[in-house]
Amino acid sequence: MRSYDIYNVKEQYHAYMIGREKLLYELLKEDEQENTLQEVHYLCERLEGAAIEDAVITNLGKGFASIEQGDKKFKLTHPVKGSIVISVSSYALTVVCDGSRMLDLDLFVALSGMNDRFFAVMDGYGEWGWLKPVKYTNLRVSRENVAFY
């Protein structure tokens, strides 16, 4: 069983946080434990229930045999892959995946379809990262910046 907390970084801070993921992880890990940090409210957007519901039900729910929906909570079950339980709070999605790692991938694809600013923390394993990988299209490598060994 794998557990994630997923946050939506505000657009104006997204570019700043690229390359500083370790710092963001440390901050969000603390929020996971205390659930009241003002810095998280400053850096992350409040999650809108309707948008999350749309991403979960419309995008993710297509391939699942059953979907149970309660008060800010979803449970999706697949006969082969396993199940995902998603709880929505003000600033974080708490996700528990039980089964194949394909569940995680399905969830990440569904959420990254909303935007590319979702950041996941899997503190039990010390893992973190953007749900949609960052592409460096405008990165120019000059001769001065490259070290040859």
- Look up residue 44 and give its DSSP letter: B
pTM value > 0.75: yes
pLDDT at residue number 33: 65
Which CATH number characterizes residue 116's domain? 3.30.310.250
pLDDT at 142: 43
Q: 3-class SS at 73?
A: strand
- Tens-digit pLDDT profile for residues 45-103: 999 888 888 888 887 877 888 888 888 899 999 999 999 999 998 899 999 999 999 99
Please choose, from the candidates 17, 8, 94, 11, the residue with its C-alpha nearest in 3D space to the C-alpha of residue 51. Answer: 8
The one-letter code for the residue type at 115 is N
Domains contained in the chain, number: 1
pLDDT (tens digit per residue) in 105-143: 988 988 888 889 999 998 777 889 999 877 765 544 444
**Which residue, among 32, 73, 33, 79, has the nearest Cα to 53 in the 3D structure?**
73
3-state helix, strand, coil in the chain (%, to 5): 40, 30, 30
Residue with tokens 């973190």: 128
Residue 48 DSSP label: P
Q: Domain residues for 128?
A: 2-145
